[in-house]
């Protein structure tokens, strides 16, 4: 047993408003630069829908993730190492700009400078790639709120799959449809196929917290990670020629505060905490034969943070006491392992994703309400969950490789919570049999309700700080005395981004094309000024800034 | 033997080697962030998928041909019973297809770069200079090959002068005299190649030096500690890594 800690996020989809605040704040924080215009580390998809990039879930086309070879061993779906190297001169499967969209801006100047005339001046859309007039025909959320779904909806790979199986068309007529939002970030997988695809070995998983990062200095732009990631959550910065991805806001995490997407989530639907898992069993779990067993296999390698043997082993591996305590209080552990109401996104890709979802009950509630039924009653809800096959099948294709039983169990737990809490809210006592019907106790249901509905900040986010005694190792910190409470009060300093130290990544200040920390490379250098990082420090005494 | 010959064939090669090696070390140490293939496949894929493998695989063949032609002394092949005629016929039969693949691939890639608006907008000055020198080297290279093929066994036997001169460079005893009377086209090919090698470290061509052969041997999953490896300061050169980018300290 090799115990490792993994930061993880769970999103309770019922609470997603589809407001895109997470996407916007993430973009402002991380990808507000030339070369990353089309890059959305966080995006919110309306499902059913095509997703972003278009139809990324169609792995027969995109070849993302892993598959089992004839010997039953894991192999990249895009091919083995030799195949990858032999086809390196032109990547055989690679999403194009048209699969994302051509980024654009508007010619606002024309609104001011157009000559006097009979017609109103317009701000024409201009391509950010070529600078010329462009026609806008797709974006990161073009089919938002089912916009245009009557045309594109049947191209959703999951809709197609269910249709093939049932020969039945999923209805996109307004009154019969269902929809929900699916916010997506990098999954920070335990068995990442992007990492396995990288010819340069530039993608790595941090041993301390499991965050998957791209070493910008070692990436050589072969773009195999983009093929390899089945979630298409690694993006190619077409200006710098390097791969970029969601960083799980590691500079914030290291200081014990949640990611930007979670912090700004209006619906409070995101939960962040840590898991302890057995790193030795990851490959084994990812190699189970049946796709539908992958969810259980992954759940199995998540270790019980109260188990004395796990704690002993964790300490032996150098995991700090505060991390073990955080694992014990972890909201994601409760949602995923204790109550089993959170599920991984597309476990069949065999990457062991670590951003999980509580599937939405709302499609079912909405349908009940529209038909004039009591959507809080346990019988109505259970009946509807059992009979509304298509939403349940759709959710199962997303979260359990098609196993509807697991989804039904989760939805029934959510339904039981509604019914149980209604009795209490109406001044009565919660009926224990409602809880028992889903294999829980009333106490557990109440605790679940607290975490799901009251959702206090400190319960949603249980993030242990990176350890200050390791401060010299932190990517963001220069001096260990500057820790919170220490003489330097690191928190204030790191996020105001001022002071004599070089700007940390978290401090903002993005030059247009320069990298986050102000570093330029030989191609971005405009020939003006002297980029210090590109020259040896000849001044002598102090280190180059 | 005049001063110009001494310079071109006895001094310039070493200057180029110093720039090539020194420049590459500098680039590796100080501009890893700029060390990339700068792929444009994101903008355009259809033409690239044909032209790029054609060019690159052609280049592998051409490189192999140059290694054999320049590094293996004629006496060795003669000892194996290979006559000059046999050798040259073999060189042409293998060399011309590879050379044409490189030339054709490059022409198509430059055509693509010029005509596709997105790709052209992403083309830097460095790219343009590099393409011109690359094209010039290749045109002269193919030129001398085809020219000597047409002359049959009257063609210039580079294995008698250029190859020994090339090998003598590595012994630091450049035999400049061998190069005095070689045909002009050969001289141009070599001098243009010098220019290309001198530009190499400062262009996207550096990606060739990090061909990811180690991918075959590394584990699929890479764990790395948050702080990266710690290294001491090296004498003479100050590390440029900032505290938020310790990977530069390696």
Could you read off the pLDDT of A184-232 as tens digits, one per residue? 999 999 999 999 999 999 999 999 999 999 999 999 999 999 999 999 9
Share of chain B above pLDDT 90, in %: 72
The whole-chain average pLDDT of chain A stands at 87
Question: Is A216 in CB contact (< 8 Å) with chain B?
Answer: yes
Distance (Å, whole) CA A87 – CA A162: 34
Kindly indicate the confidence band of residue B228, based on its pLDDT and cuts at 50, 70 and 90. low
Question: Would you say residue A539 lies in a domain?
Answer: no
Grouping H, G, I as helix, E, B as strand and the rest as coil, residue A236 is: strand
Q: Check residue B91 and give its pLDDT.
A: 86
Cis peptide before A53 (omega within 30 of 0): yes
Considering A360, A384, A404, which residue would you say is the last residue of a domain?
Answer: A360
Considering the domain architecture, whether residues A340 and A480 belong to the same structural domain is answered as no
User: How many beta carbons lie within 10 A of that of residue B31, not counting itself?
Assistant: 22
Answer yes or no: is pLDDT of A523 > 70.
no
- pLDDT tens digits for B33-78? 999 999 999 999 999 999 999 999 999 999 999 999 999 999 998 8
Inter-chain CB pairs, A–B, below 8 Å = 198
* Smallest Cα distance from B127 to chain A, Å: 10
Interface contact flag, A191 B49, Cβ < 8 Å: no
Closest chain B residue to the Cα of A541, Cα to Cα: B238
A7 half-sphere exposure, CB direction, 13 A CA radius: 29
CA B176, chain centre distance (Å): 23
Give the pLDDT mean for A130-138: 93
In the predicted structure, residue A263 carries a pLDDT above the cut 50: yes
Domains of chain B: 3-249 (1.20.950.20)
Q: CA of A519: which chain B residue's CA is closest?
A: B33
Cβ pair A381, A368 in contact under 8 A: yes
Residue numbers of A between 157 and 196 with CB closer than 8 Å to B: 191-192, 195-196
**B88 marked as binding residue:** no
pLDDT at B232: 40
Q: Binding residue per annotation — B214?
A: no
As given in the structure block, the two tokens for residue A298 are 């992954």
Please, is A299 exposed, middle or buried when counting C-beta atoms within 10 Å of its C-beta (0-12, 13-18, 19+)?
middle
Chain B touched by A73 (CB under 8 Å): no
Query: B243 vs A522: CB contact, 8 Å cut-off?
Result: no
Residue A340: is its pLDDT beyond 90?
yes
Per the CB < 8 Å rule, is B30 touching A218?
A: no
Q: What pLDDT does A120 receive?
A: 92
d(CA A397, CA A166): 13
Residue where one domain finishes, among candidates A337, A360, A383? A360
How close is the nearest chain B Cα to the Cα of A155, in Å? 23
The reply to whether A356 and A473 lie within a common domain is no
Answer for the pair A352, A189: CB distance below 8 angstroms, yes or no. yes
Q: For residue A498, is pLDDT > 80?
A: no
Q: List the 100-129 stretch of A: residues with Cβ below 8 A of B.
A: 129
Quote ipTM for the complex.
0.86
Query: Smallest CA–CA separation between A95 and chain B, in Å?
Result: 7
Q: How far is CA A349 from CA A73, A74, A82, A230, in A?
A: 14, 11, 21, 7
**Residue of A35, A101, A199 best to disrupt the B interface, most CBs of B under 10 A:** A199
**Amino acid A167: pLDDT:** 64
Residue of B nearest to A476 (CA): B244
Plot region of A93 (φ>0 → left; ψ -120 to 50 → alpha; else → beta): beta
Q: Note whether residue A349 is domain-resident.
A: yes
User: Chain A 219-248, CB below 8 Å of chain B: which residues?
Assistant: 219-223, 236, 238-242
Extract the tokens encoding B20.
Answer: 């090539």
Measured distance CA(A190)–CA(A285) in Å, rounded: 10
Say if residues A245 and A186 touch (Cβ distance below 8 Å).
yes
Structural domain of A492: 467-529
Testing the interface with B: which of A241, A283, A494, A507 to mutate, by most B Cβ within 10 A?
Answer: A241
* B189 in a known ligand binding site: yes
Listed residues A310, A337, A360: the one ending a domain: A360
Token pair of B236, please?
A: 């003479």
Q: The dihedral of CA A208, A212, A213, A214: what is its sign?
A: positive
In contact, B136 and B191? CB cutoff 8 Å = no
- Would you tell me which residues 270-299 of chain A have a C-beta closer than 8 angstroms to some C-beta of chain B? 282
The DSSP symbol for A450 reads I
* Residue A380 is assigned to a structural domain of this protein: no
- Alpha carbons within 13 A on the beta-carbon side of A172: 19
Q: Closest approach of chain B CAs to the CA of A324, in angstroms?
A: 18
Is the residue at A137 inside a domain?
A: no
A342 lies in a domain? Answer: yes
C-alpha to C-alpha distances, A18 to A43, A111, A265, A393, B115, nearest whole angstrom: 10, 32, 10, 22, 41
Residue with tokens 């509304």: A388
Are A45 and A181 spatial neighbours (Cβ–Cβ below 8 Å)? yes
Q: Do B37 and A221 touch (CB under 8 A)?
A: yes
| pLDDT tens column, A417-435 | 999 999 999 988 989 999 9
Residue A383 lies in a domain: no
* CA closest to A471 among chain B residues: B227
Sign for the CA dihedral angle at A424, A427, A429, A433 comes to: negative
Q: What was the pLDDT predicted at A107?
A: 94
Q: Grade residue A445 by pLDDT with cuts at 50, 70 and 90.
A: very high
**Contacts of residue B125 in chain A, CB cutoff 8 Å?**
none
Establish if A97 touches chain B: CB-CB under 8 angstroms.
Answer: yes
Residues B115, B65: contact at Cβ < 8 Å? no
Which residue among B45, B48, B210 sits closest to A200, beta carbon to beta carbon?
B210
Instruction: Give how far A226 is from chain B: nearest CA, Å.
Output: 11
Residue in B with minimal Cα distance to A507: B244
> Do residue B215 and residue A545 have CB atoms under 8 angstroms apart?
no
Residues A344-368 pLDDT 10s = 999 999 999 999 999 999 988 888 8
Q: Average pLDDT for residues B129-157, to the nearest whole number?
A: 87
CATH number of the domain to which A162 belongs: 3.30.70.20
Confidence of residue A25 (pLDDT cuts 50, 70, 90): very high
Q: Where does chain B have alpha helices with state H?
A: 3-6, 12-30, 46-71, 74-79, 84-115, 117-121, 125-150, 158-170, 184-199
Contact B8, B194 (CB under 8 A): no
Cβ-based neighbour number of residue A17 at 10 Å: 12
Whether residue A21 is found in the same domain as residue A162? yes
Smallest Cα distance from A282 to chain B, Å: 11
Nearest Cα residue in chain A from B56? A89
Residues of A in contact with B32 (CB under 8 A): 217-218
CB contact under 8 A, A220 and B207: yes
Judge whether residue B219 has pLDDT over 70: yes
Measured between CB atoms, which of B117, B126, B218 is closest to A130?
Answer: B117
Percent above pLDDT 70 for chain B: 89
User: Within a 10 A sphere around the Cβ of A109, how many other Cβ atoms?
Assistant: 10
Q: Say whether both A503 and A355 belong to one domain.
A: no
- CB-CB under 8 Å, A523 with B126: yes
* Residue A318 maps to a domain: yes
- Give the closest of A81, A204, A515 to B224, CB-based: A204
| Residues in chain A closer than 8 A to B40 (CB atoms) | 238
Q: Is the CB of B226 less than 8 angstroms away from the CB of A473?
A: yes
Among A130, A208, A536, whose Cβ lies nearest the Cβ of B118? A130
Residues of A in contact with B222 (CB under 8 A): 195, 201, 203-205
Measured between CB atoms, does A450 come within 8 Å of chain B? no
Asked whether the predicted pLDDT for residue B247 surpasses 50, the reply is no
Q: In this structure, what is the dihedral angle of CA atoms A243, B108, B54, B146, given to the nearest 10 degrees?
A: -140
The Cα of B72 is separated from the nearest Cα of chain A by a number of Å equal to: 28
User: What pLDDT score was predicted for residue A55?
Assistant: 95
Nearest CA in chain A to B243: A478
Cis peptide before A48 (omega within 30 of 0): yes
Q: For residue A527, what pLDDT is reported?
A: 65
What's the CA gap between A411 and A156, in Å, rounded?
Answer: 23
Closest CA relative to residue A185, chosen from A255, A240, A235: A235
How far is residue A216's CA from residue A213's CA, in Å, rounded to a whole number? 9
pLDDT bin (cut points 50, 70, 90) of residue A155 is: confident
What pLDDT does A374 receive? 87
Neighbours of A456 (CB within 10 A): 10
Asked if pLDDT for residue B236 goes beyond 90, the answer is no
Q: Give the DSSP per-residue string, A60-124.
A: HHH--SEEE-TTS-EEETT--HHHHHHTTTS-SS---GGGS---EEE-THHHHHSPS-SSPP---
- Cα A426 to chain center, whole Å? 37
Q: Determine the Cα angle at A504 with ends A501 and A508, to 5°.
A: 120
Which residues of chain A have a CB within 8 Å of the CB of B42? 94, 96-97, 223, 236, 238
- Span A62-116, pLDDT tens digits: 999 999 999 999 999 999 999 999 999 999 999 999 999 999 999 999 999 999 9
Decide if A97 and B118 are in contact by the 8 Å CB cutoff: yes
Residue A475 lies in a domain: yes
Q: How many CB atoms lie within 10 A of CB A219?
A: 27
How many structural domains is chain A composed of?
2
Task: Establish if A350 touches chain B: CB-CB under 8 angstroms.
Answer: no
Confidence of residue A545 (pLDDT cuts 50, 70, 90): very low
C-alpha span between B24 and B201 (Å, rounded): 5
Q: What is the pLDDT of residue A469?
A: 56
Shortest distance between the Cα of A211 and any Cα of chain B, in A, equals: 9
Residues 6 or more apart in contact with residue B224 via CB below 8 angstroms: A204, A205, A206, A207
User: How far apart are alpha carbons A204 and A217 in whole angstroms?
Assistant: 13
pLDDT band at B242 (very low <50, low <70, confident <90, very high): very low
- Say if A523 is an interface residue toward chain B (CB within 8 Å): yes
């Amino acid at each position: 047993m090799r115990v490792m800690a993994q930061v993880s996020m769970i999103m309770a989809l019922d609470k997603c408003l589809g407001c895109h605040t997470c996407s916007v704040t993430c973009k402002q924080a991380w990808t507000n630069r030339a070369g990353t215009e089309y890059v959305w580390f966080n995006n919110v998809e309306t499902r059913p829908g095509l997703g972003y990039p278009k139809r990324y879930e169609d792995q027969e086309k995109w070849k993302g993730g892993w598959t089992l070879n004839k010997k039953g061993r894991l192999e990249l779906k895009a091919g083995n190492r030799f195949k990858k190297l032999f086809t390196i001169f032109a990547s055989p499967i690679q999403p194009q700009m048209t699969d994302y969209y051509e980024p654009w801006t508007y010619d606002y100047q024309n609104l001011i400078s157009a000559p006097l005339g009979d017609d109103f001046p317009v701000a024409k859309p201009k391509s950010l790639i070529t600078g010329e007039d462009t026609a806008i025909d797709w974006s990161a959320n073009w089919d938002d709120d089912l916009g245009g779904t009557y045309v594109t909806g049947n191209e959703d790979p999951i809709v197609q799959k269910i249709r093939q199986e049932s020969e039945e068309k999923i209805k996109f007529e307004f009154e019969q449809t269902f929809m929900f939002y699916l916010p997506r970030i990098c999954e920070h997988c335990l068995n990442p196929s992007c990492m396995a695809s990288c010819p340069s070995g530039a993608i790595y998983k941090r041993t301390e917290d499991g965050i998957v990062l791209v070493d910008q200095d070692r990436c050589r732009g072969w773009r195999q990670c983009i093929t390899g990631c089945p979630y298409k959550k690694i993006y190619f910065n077409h200006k710098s020629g390097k791969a970029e991805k969601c960083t799980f806001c590691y500079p914030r995490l290291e200081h014990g505060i949640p990611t930007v997407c979670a912090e700004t989530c209006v619906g409070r639907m995101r939960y962040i905490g840590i898991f302890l898992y057995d790193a030795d069993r990851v490959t084994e779990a990812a190699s189970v034969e049946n796709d539908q067993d992958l969810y259980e296999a992954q759940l199995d390698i998540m270790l019980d943070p109260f188990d004395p043997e796990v704690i002993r082993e964790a300490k032996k591996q150098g995991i700090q006491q505060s991390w073990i305590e955080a694992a014990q209080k972890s909201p994601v552990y409760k949602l995923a392992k204790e109550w089993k109401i959170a599920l991984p996104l597309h476990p069949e890709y065999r990457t062991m994703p670590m951003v999980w979802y509580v599937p939405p009950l709302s499609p079912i509630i909405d349908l009940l309400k529209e038909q004039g039924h009591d959507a809080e009653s346990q019988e109505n809800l259970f009946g509807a969950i059992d009979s509304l096959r298509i939403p349940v099948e759709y959710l199962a294709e997303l979260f359990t490789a098609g196993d509807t039983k697991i989804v039904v169990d989760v939805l029934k737990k959510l339904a039981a919570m509604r019914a149980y809490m209604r009795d209490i809210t109406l001044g009565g006592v919660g009926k224990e049999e409602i809880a028992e019907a889903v294999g829980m106790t009333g106490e557990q249901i109440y605790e679940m309700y607290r975490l799901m509905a009251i959702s206090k900040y400190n319960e949603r986010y249980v993030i242990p700080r990176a350890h200050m005694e390791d401060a010299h190792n932190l990517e963001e910190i220069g001096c260990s005395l500057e820790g919170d409470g220490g003489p330097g009060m690191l928190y204030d300093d790191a996020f105001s981004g001022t002071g004599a130290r070089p700007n940390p990544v978290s401090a903002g200040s993005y030059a247009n094309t320069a990298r986050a920390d102000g570093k330029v490379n030989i191609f971005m250098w405009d020939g003006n000024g002297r980029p210090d990082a590109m020259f040896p420090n000849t001044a002598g005494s102090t280190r180059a800034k | 033997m005049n001063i110009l010959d001494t310079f071109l064939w006895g001094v310039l090669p070493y200057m180029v080697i110093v720039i090539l090696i020194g420049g590459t070390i500098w680039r590796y140490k100080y501009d890893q962030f700029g060390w990339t293939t700068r792929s444009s496949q994101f903008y355009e894929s259809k033409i690239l998928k044909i032209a790029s493998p054609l060019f690159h695989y052609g280049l592998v063949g051409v490189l192999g041909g140059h290694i054999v032609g320049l590094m293996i002394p004629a006496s060795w092949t003669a000892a194996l019973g290979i006559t000059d005629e046999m050798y040259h016929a073999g060189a042409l039969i293998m060399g011309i297809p590879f050379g044409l693949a490189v030339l054709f691939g490059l022409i198509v890639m430059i055509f693509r770069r010029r005509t596709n608006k997105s790709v052209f907008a992403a083309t830097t000055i460095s790219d343009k200079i590099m393409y011109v020198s690359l094209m010039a080297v290749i045109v002269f290279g193919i030129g001398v090959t085809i020219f000597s093929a047409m002359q049959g066994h009257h063609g210039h036997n580079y294995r008698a002068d250029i190859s020994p001169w090339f090998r003598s460079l590595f012994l630091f005893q450049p035999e400049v005299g061998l190069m005095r009377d070689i045909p002009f086209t050969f001289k141009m090919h070599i001098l243009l190649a010098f220019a290309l090698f001198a530009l190499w470290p400062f262009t996207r061509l550096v990606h060739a030096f990090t061909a990811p052969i180690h991918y075959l041997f590394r584990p699929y999953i890479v764990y790395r500690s948050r702080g990266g490896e710690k290294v001491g300061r090296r004498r003479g050169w100050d590390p440029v890594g900032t505290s938020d980018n310790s990977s530069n300290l390696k």
